[in-house]
Structure 1
């Protein structure tokens, strides 16, 4: 049985090219294409077939990938969202994770990696690029909710928890220091302390930990 996919991308040529590429993947089939999240909503509301996976562009008019992934998380939580973007920054990744995306790919990946991503997200529930995969996967899959709660209750100070909450936002470290009324050096200290306590190496990992711990 093939896993069904819907492509949401405002660039028609890219959507068609993706559909053509994925037609060669034996375990997957493309149901239809949409140009933005609003069109996807209309398809779902019109009783069109609901896919297993939505391959979702981030930058789109009318209703972008951030808003669309949040809507899918709230209304169709069983649909796996694989984000597809030209943006490789931490902020975009953090925001998509927070909004329910289960995977993240750059548009310059080879077809073989796209197929691998689709298989991995189907089998394991998550897929992220090399620069974030180890952090995100281990944080989201390797720790139980009870472990998160335990870490929050026994290891972290209130200021560290406050810093974790702000890591989920799009604020820079400088802006976070201003928000917390402390120096950038103090923020650096919070970050280093948390990374050591939680065995996490980057802001992406800290943000994912905060989300899974219910701090968002």
Structure 2
């Protein structure tokens, strides 16, 4: 199992790596920022990513994971001290396997990974680059996934912290790219027919 730890505090990152190596048969790597993540992921192709939500960058860890999920298949465990409903709702959209609540200790790290270890190892796609043949980008793919969940334009706007007007523009652009008629249920029907492709 290949594990990537994304944590901007090096002492915490090293501690987590120590615990992972001591308790699991795996290869590990640490990324302290977005740039290091983008360099490491294509080389490591992680099966599991442990990602801090607050990375002291322009965007947070959830945003980073959303971008990575459009290109790679992996399991995600968030490391967080956040407990706000809005943050948790955003995190849930990326389908995390587990959470580690800060402060981090040996038991929390071990338990969080142990509970999902078999699922990660047995998942056929984890640890691979996705062959995404869809002509849409990461944010558009995310919108299609939310449409599949039958969210309205207003709900999607709230989930992605964008305006409903922006979401309408995205929907129109997606329909154009997919050669669909720009009508109410066209995208939902397409998403239902292509669920395997967009999941």
Higher relative contact order (CA 8 A, sep 6+): 2
Per-residue deviation, residues 20-41 of structure 1 (Å, max 9, x unmatched):
222221x343421001233111
Counting only pairs closer than 5 Å after superposition, residues 79-118 of structure 1 correspond to structure 2 as 79-118=74-113
Count of residues paired in the alignment: 134
User: Could you tell me the TM-score, scaled by structure 2's length?
Assistant: 0.56
2:69 to 67, 70, 73: 73
Distance 1:36 1:59 in 2: 11
Question: Which consecutive residues of structure 2, in runs of 5 or more, have no partner in the other structure?
Answer: 121-147, 162-199
User: Is contact 1:9-1:35 (8 Å) kept?
Assistant: yes
Find out whether 1:38 has 2:35 as its counterpart: yes
Residue aligned with 1:16, SS:
helix
Structure 2 CA distance for partners of 1:86 and 1:162, relative to 1, 3 Å: same
Residue matched to 2:11: 13
Distance 2:16 2:99 in 1: 15
Residue aligned with 1:24, SS:
helix
Alignment RMSD: 3.1
1:93 to partner: Cα distance: 1.4
Residue aligned with 1:10, SS:
coil
